Structure 1
């Protein structure tokens, strides 16, 4: 008679990471207000008290989700900044209307950041949103600096201001989609104008 397989006990760090991964999925899909810690626990396969034992409150859990998602995005930006990949290509992708639609769609990491920015009555979440945005701005400024130093972008570009400008454009896309009479035309025009400015009025397809 074979013995039943023993259940492997997770380490504390692995348990915490599994909860964060499940919480990221839940909050990205339905948002912070509708997201339930019970749903997070169910996805991990633990009881709801285990979630609270690890994070204390739902707000602290969501703040940790924001920080974790920011880690992921900044690693991607930092790797790109350290690579030889054209900066203009990344900017074209970042500003592409279809990409911005995806960033704001339910289930995406971008939905978590948009949600966090709106939750100003939750101190832990507001602080996490501020930290993540500042980190994005720093990483994006480093990327823009590589583009400026390498001759892809205009030589007089203020990379810090440009980084915040780009983040603002991304964050406000949802507003434009809801209010502009012809949102598709507005998005296309903004993308083209922004690239034209960053490149110093050179065509985005023209080699540096």
Structure 2
């Protein structure tokens, strides 16, 4: 709960509770890391976004890696919520998977300022114990939700009945997360990415469904 105090000028000043302060730091850090990446974003920049001093950020999270681990958890929660909402409003799980695996969506997911930047960075930082633990714990939550979506597609008769939903979920997540690798080394990346997406869909869809 926020408390109101008087500033030296006599104007009321709002003091955030500890939980609200941490939440505000995580929000600001998520934006900073998504826009600039882990290496370029600084604790000072995050503090400036909030209008606080840099020690305030360190007092709440201890280190940059500790803050990034909290951001991974927060970003996963946002992704899980988005996935649930997409599935809830989708009439076709096959159509939803086509959308998720499309080159346009993958480009958008990994554009500066997007949550995909958080996860792409996190995969390169798993040697840091706090970040590695956060990635393993929270990305697994996203895989679990995607497995639920795939299981619904099986019940609806759109996806192959012999699929293991958990394995299929990790297949989709692997395709989404490998975008930086493909962008860095793949010739004619967009053309090949379309074909790889179609092949992936072909492995998921029931034979009566078209991957196009």
Q: Work out whether the TM-score is over 0.5.
A: yes
Corresponding residue for 1:110? 116
Pick which of 85-94 and 47-56 moved more. 85-94
Is the Cα contact below 8 Å between 2:87 and 2:96 reproduced in 1?
Answer: no
TM-score (norm 1): 0.91
Post-superposition CA distance 1:54-93 (Å, at most 9, x none): 1111110010000001011112223444556321222111
User: In 1, distance between residues paired with 2:67 and 2:177?
Assistant: 23
2-structure distance, mates of 1:84, 1:33 = 37
Tell me whether 80-89 or 108-117 shows the greater mean CA deviation: 80-89
Q: CA RMSD of the aligned region, Å?
A: 1.7
Q: Secondary structure at the match of 2:15?
A: coil
Structure 2 gaps, min length 5: 1-8
Name 2:32's counterpart in structure 1: 26
> Is the 8 Å Cα contact of residues 87 and 143 (structure 1) preserved in structure 2?
yes
Matched residue SS, 1:7 = strand
Q: Distance in 2 between matches of 1:118 and 1:126?
A: 9
Instruction: State the 1:98 CA deviation.
Output: 1.1
TM-score w.r.t. structure 2 length? 0.89
User: Any conservation in 2 of the 1:16–1:54 contact (CA below 8 Å)?
Assistant: yes
Distance in 2, matches of 1:101 and 1:78, equals 21
Q: Distance in 1 between matches of 2:37 and 2:10?
A: 40
3-state secondary structure, aligned to 1:170: helix
Number of residue pairs matched? 203
Structure-2 residue corresponding to 1:189: 195
Q: In 1, are the aligned partners of 2:126 and 2:135 still within 8 Å (CA)?
A: no
